[in-house]
Amino acid sequence: MDSTYKQYIVPGGLPYTGKVTNAKAYAGKNRIKIAWPKSKDPNVVKAKIFWNNYADSLEVNTQSELDTISVTIDNLPEKSYTFNIITYDGKGIPSIPVELLSGSYGEKYQEQLLNRPVNSLIIDVDGKITIDWGNADISSGAVFSELKYVNTAGNPTTKRFSVKEPKSLLTDLKSGTRFEYRTEFRPDTLYSIDSFFTNYAESHELTISKASWKVIDFSSEHDNGSNAVKNFIDGTDGTRWHSRADGRGYPHFATIDMGVERTITQFGVWRTTFENGGDSRAPNKIQFFTSTDNATWVDQGIFDFNRLINGEQTILLPLKPRARYFKFVAVSGPENNMVIGEISAYGL
């Protein structure tokens, strides 16, 4: 009855050297690191790592005083790899192979990486900047957003924020400057020895927070409720500032104290959508003045405003003035009274 297998039996059994356990492969840039705990089998003297269907190999001396055997295989073309690790005793008796899967990454991987976008940057009265991040490409291995900037003490600084954070707070950016940002990627977020980075991008203008804004002077308002001038800085074009409709004509104005001096690079102005999805009684010409002390004013120019469309209309200030106060002036429009939705300021 034992004739079908008796010929395959080796008297005393086949000896095997102790195989590696808990081996890990770490992906890298045209290289892969392989590591495992030192064998508890005292007879093990070396190991061989095979790849490319055993066409390539590397011999490793395992007689080390270290607790971990580690080797890095360099100059690997960018692709996936299957490794087989076999240990040997002093007589050349091998262990059972242990298989590992990993990958080498290079230019192809680098080319597909996208910088995590910034949705908005809001600076408050204390100079703290809230960064509202867009979605990071986590599926490709994005792990950190890295910022490079000059801090308030004048020193070059680098900070990293996890891509799992939807918002980050930057508290020490030097006033009047920008930061640069890039995204760090690891092909295997758990087992990578190298990081890849996108190119740096420069931050755009900061949105100046309206939390501390105050209207300190204005020409008129129809009432202090749904038509009040305060609606002009409440954060939505769904409300309105309606000047008095009793025959008082243009110009109409509002003076705003931002609470702190900033460099203003542009304004954003909206007509209101309070009624009928958009109100065409907005002005067609607007003007801006800026001041650091609410006493001396600098004329920043008169600009066209399209009163027939919704959405933000951007007004660039070529002089990029430093100011704590600004004055919005509606110069002309279709009627004596004026209806407007919202204003924002941007800068550094």
Domains of the chain: 15-104 (2.60.40.10), 112-204 (2.60.40.10), 214-347 (2.60.120.260)
At residue 14, does pLDDT exceed 80?
A: no
Q: Answer whether 248's CB lies under 8 Å from 326's CB.
A: no
Q: What is the pLDDT of residue 15?
A: 65
* Type of residue numbered 161: F
Percent with pLDDT over 90 in the chain: 88
At residue 313, does pLDDT exceed 60?
A: yes
Q: What is the pLDDT of residue 104?
A: 97
The sign of the torsion formed by the CA atoms of 226, 212, 207, 167 equals negative
Nearest to 344 by CA among 257, 266, 241, 251: 266
What CA–CA distance (Å, rounded) separates 242 from 229? 7
What CA–CA distance (Å, rounded) separates 347 from 205? 5
Give pTM, 2 decimals: 0.84
Q: What is the pLDDT of residue 190?
A: 85
Q: Answer whether 63's CB lies under 8 Å from 45's CB.
A: yes
Q: What is the DSSP string of 194-250?
A: --EEPPPEE--PEEEP-TT-EEEEES--S-SSTT-GGGGGSS-TTS-EE---SS--S
Q: What is the pLDDT of residue 5?
A: 55
Burial 279-308 (b: 16+ CB within 10 A, else e): bebbbebbbbbbbeeeeebeebeebebebe
What CA–CA distance (Å, rounded) separates 320 from 240? 28
Residues 51-107: tens digit of each pLDDT: 999 999 999 999 888 899 999 999 999 999 999 999 999 999 999 999 999 999 999
**Token pair of 127, please?**
């100079």
Q: What is the pLDDT of residue 246?
A: 82
Q: Answer whether 16's CB lies under 8 Å from 87's CB.
A: no
Nearest to 46 by CA among 17, 73, 16, 81: 17
What CA–CA distance (Å, rounded) separates 15 from 262? 79
Q: Measuring CA to CA, how many Å separate 16 from each of 12, 47, 98, 137?
A: 12, 13, 13, 46
What CA–CA distance (Å, rounded) separates 96 from 119? 54
Residues 222-239: tens digit of each pLDDT: 998 999 999 999 999 999
What CA–CA distance (Å, rounded) separates 119 from 78? 34
Burial 241-277 (b: 16+ CB within 10 A, else e): bbbbeeeeebbbbbbbbbbeebbbbebebbbbbbeee
**Token pair of 176, please?**
């009047």
Q: What is the mean pLDDT of residues 137-165?
A: 97
* 167 strand-pairing partners: 132
Can you tell me whether residue 109 is helix, strand or coil? helix
DSSP 192: B
Residues 250-285: tens digit of each pLDDT: 999 999 999 999 999 999 999 999 988 999 999 999
What CA–CA distance (Å, rounded) separates 123 from 136? 23
Q: What is the pLDDT of residue 232?
A: 98
Residues 185-226: tens digit of each pLDDT: 999 888 999 999 999 999 999 999 999 999 999 999 999 899
